[in-house]
Amino acid sequence: MLKSIIRKEILNNLLSYKFSIIIILSTILILVSIFVMYRDYCLALENYGVLQPKSNEAIAIIPPTPLSIFAKGLDENLCRSYEIGFGGQIRVGSKQESVNNLFRLFTTPDLLYVVKVILALCAMLFAFDMVSGEKEVGTLRQTLSNSMKRPILVIGKWIGGFTSFVVPFFIAVLLSTILVTMSPLVQMDGENWAKLGMFLFSSVLYLAVFFSLGLLISCLTHHSSSSLIISLFLWAMLVFFIPNLGNILARQLVQIPTVQQLEVKRSQIWIKEVFERINREKNYREVVGSINSENDKLIADYRNRFDRLVSVSQNITRFSPAAAFTCLATDLMGTGISEERRLKKAVLLYKDLVWNKQQDDLPTFNFHRSSIKEVFGFGGLANLMILILFNMLFFVSAYVAFLKYDVR
């Protein structure tokens, strides 16, 4: 009985205009997205080649990851060159430029954005009339009158509907990934393939959240027009409003200095030490050491404030599955906020290692992006559990609502 329900749901979707339009649109978006981000990755590689330090330069820089093709995140910030200057001051390299200025005007069109925004909406559009729509045309009452049990029907509808939606998504991603990885510029190792697999798994969980939410709305309404309006409203709330509101509230709760304020404080430290050298006849090494120490305190205070800001923002935005998915996806791909924090700490350690060395004796900067195990240790597991809990909440609610649904 369950198999027949699943088969019927898949066939109905395959023959519907809604399925054809949504699948064609999403497939084109996925293919175009990965092609555009592949070109952006090639530009980032060229930029990295230009910025690589010479043997006598104290510069920290890492190459872009090929996983940024799928989830760019903060990869442009991560791939900046950091110059270690006088007194241990860390500055973004003077040759640093934005890789793709077009993304300053528009949102980065990576696969993460397509899944988070476009496909989440498509998932709700697939499910918003699965129950209310069938009630309007009378097929739901007819189905239940033939000794069909409600639990089997709602489970079969969910499995059949979500399968017919997610399989074309996998095919489009697989096709575009094969085309991209054929390029010699895209070097994917075993760890990268595992991360990509986890990213796709989390994408399925995320899309299942919105599919289950659409089914729940359909089980709580009696007209497909009402279901559509409520679905669009909740999609906008969960994808845009709550994440942005969380970031705004976090900035109000945690005060953090701007980049301009940091530069002013650095200049004040330098001027203060120069005057102290003149007045107290401090030697060169004392002046440099004092500047380095004061800069360390300034950076430590900024990083502590920034970490509190991120923590508060994440705690507020966890009411949105879109925020949890974004954090999980970017952390998995090595382009997230936790990766940036790791890199900044590594740059500080590198600064301590090279700031008082001779230019002909400078070690190279080494940094490895987080493994999957480290990602889950940094908070990735919590974000994964949030997606699972949202799935359970919406599906169980839809299940209970359908058991009490009036089909008359």
Q: What is the pLDDT of residue 385?
A: 92
Closest of 228, 31, 196, 197 to residue 114, by C-alpha: 31
Mean pLDDT of the chain: 81
Query: pLDDT grade, residue 103 (50/70/90)?
Result: low
pLDDT digits 0-9 by tens, 104-140: 556 778 899 999 999 999 999 888 888 888 888 777 7
Query: pLDDT grade, residue 195 (50/70/90)?
Result: very high
Which residues sit opposite 387 in a β-bridge?
none
Closest of 117, 198, 115 to residue 381, by C-alpha: 198
- CA of 271: how far to CAs of 165, 265, 268, 367, in Å? 63, 10, 5, 33
Quick one: average pLDDT of 180-208? 91
pTM given for the model: 0.86
Query: pLDDT grade, residue 266 (50/70/90)?
Result: low
With tokens 């999957």, the residue in question is 372
Whether 267 has a pLDDT exceeding 70, the answer reads no
Whether 71 has a pLDDT exceeding 80, the answer reads yes
Whether 321 has a pLDDT exceeding 80, the answer reads yes
Query: pLDDT grade, residue 317 (50/70/90)?
Result: confident
pLDDT digits 0-9 by tens, 362-388: 778 888 888 888 888 877 888 899 999
Q: What is the pLDDT of residue 201?
A: 93
Q: What is the pLDDT of residue 284?
A: 56
Instruction: Give the residue with greater pLDDT, 310 vs 369.
Output: 369
Q: What is the pLDDT of residue 325?
A: 93
Q: What is the pLDDT of residue 365?
A: 82
Quick one: average pLDDT of 182-205? 91
Which helix or strand (DSSP H or E) is residue 21 part of? helix 17-51
Q: What is the pLDDT of residue 388?
A: 94
Given CA atoms 359, 362, 364, 367 in this order, what sign does their dihedral have? Answer: negative
Q: What is the pLDDT of residue 262?
A: 63
Q: What percent of the chain has pLDDT over 90?
A: 20
Whether 178 has a pLDDT exceeding 70, the answer reads yes
